[in-house]
């Protein structure tokens, strides 16, 4: 009985997400859905991204959290428009939630909308929200076996940001093993090795993101 219900929810969500997608396209707006485990560094990566890009692109952020608005406050400080979604227990964002939140922005004035999903390496990968691309973060502290244990997100995402590389000397995870495991799931994945703390590797991520936005606008 359970699986048909869940399938139904996914199909309904896909329809709503496709409608969101059409609205974003009509506004010539590029949308990225950013996912990861709790504490992998989504908000930190956003802060760095905003700092590097806000003079070149008009950016909006939708912050998804189960409750509270700490991350939205951090993003507001970074100087861009932000809307908070509190899921009230739900483990992922869906098309309906984004439909509500997107109405808080003047979409035609934006170049880039970043959706920061709920911290969860499983469920967000199943729910489209109307994005052009999905991207994900894996912290080296989570271990290099994670692609094989949580494959869907690695398969669904176009880009992987391997974060906290400043901690590599102190953990057992190896970048090469992460890359080898990703290659088994998604050969086309763009991979970036960064430290949001030191700033290392951030420029490569920014260059990729800017290219995505430019290509979508053509």
Which positions touch its own copies (CB under 8 A)?
Answer: 2, 5, 9, 37-39, 65-68, 70, 89, 91, 118-123, 126, 139, 141-143, 145-146, 148-152, 164, 166-167, 170-171
Looking at beta carbons only, is 13 or 132 nearer to its own copies?
A: 13
CA distance readout (Å), 50 to 39, 60, 92, 132 = 19, 9, 23, 19
Cβ neighbors of 214 (< 8 A, separation 6 or more) are: none
8 Å CB contact between 193 and 175:
yes
Which of 107, 117, 118, 124 is closest to 60 using CA atoms? 107
DSSP secondary structure of 71-83? HHHHHHHTTSEEE
Strand, coil or helix: 117: coil
Least Cβ distance, residue 63 to its own copies (angstroms): 11
Looking at beta carbons only, is 132 or 134 nearer to its own copies?
A: 134
Looking at beta carbons only, is 91 or 133 nearer to its own copies?
A: 91
For residue 65, list its beta bridge partners: 86
Least Cβ distance, residue 203 to its own copies (angstroms): 23
Q: How far apart are CA 127 and CA 102, in angstroms?
A: 16
Least Cβ distance, residue 91 to its own copies (angstroms): 4
Looking at beta carbons only, is 37 or 83 nearer to its own copies?
A: 37
Least Cβ distance, residue 165 to its own copies (angstroms): 12
Least Cβ distance, residue 86 to its own copies (angstroms): 11
HSE (CB half, 13 Å, CA atoms) of 62?
33
Q: How far apart are CA 163 and CA 193, in angstroms?
A: 6
């Amino acid at each position: 009985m359970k699986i048909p219900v869940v399938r139904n929810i996914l199909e309904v969500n896909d329809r709503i997400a496709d409608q969101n997608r059409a609205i974003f396209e009509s506004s010539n707006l590029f949308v990225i859905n950013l996912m990861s485990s709790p504490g992998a560094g989504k908000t930190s990566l956003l802060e760095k991204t905003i700092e590097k890009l806000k003079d070149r692109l008009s950016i909006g952020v939708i912050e998804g959290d189960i409750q509270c608005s700490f991350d939205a406050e951090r993003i507001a400080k970074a100087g861009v428009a932000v809307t908070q979604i509190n899921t009230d227990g739900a483990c992922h964002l869906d098309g309906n939630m984004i439909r509500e939140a997107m109405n808080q922005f003047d979409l035609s004035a934006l170049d880039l909308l970043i959706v920061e999903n709920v911290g969860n390496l499983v469920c967000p990968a199943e729910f489209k929200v109307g994005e052009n691309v999905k991207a994900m973060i894996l912290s080296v502290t989570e271990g290099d076996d994670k692609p094989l244990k949580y494959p869907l997100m690695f398969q669904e995402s176009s880009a992987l940001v391997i974060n906290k590389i400043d901690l590599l000397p102190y953990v057992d995870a190896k970048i090469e093993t992460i890359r080898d495991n990703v290659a088994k799931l998604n050969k086309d994945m763009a991979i970036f090795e960064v430290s949001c703390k030191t700033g290392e590797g951030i420029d490569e991520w920014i260059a990729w993101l800017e290219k995505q936005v430019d290509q979508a606008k053509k």
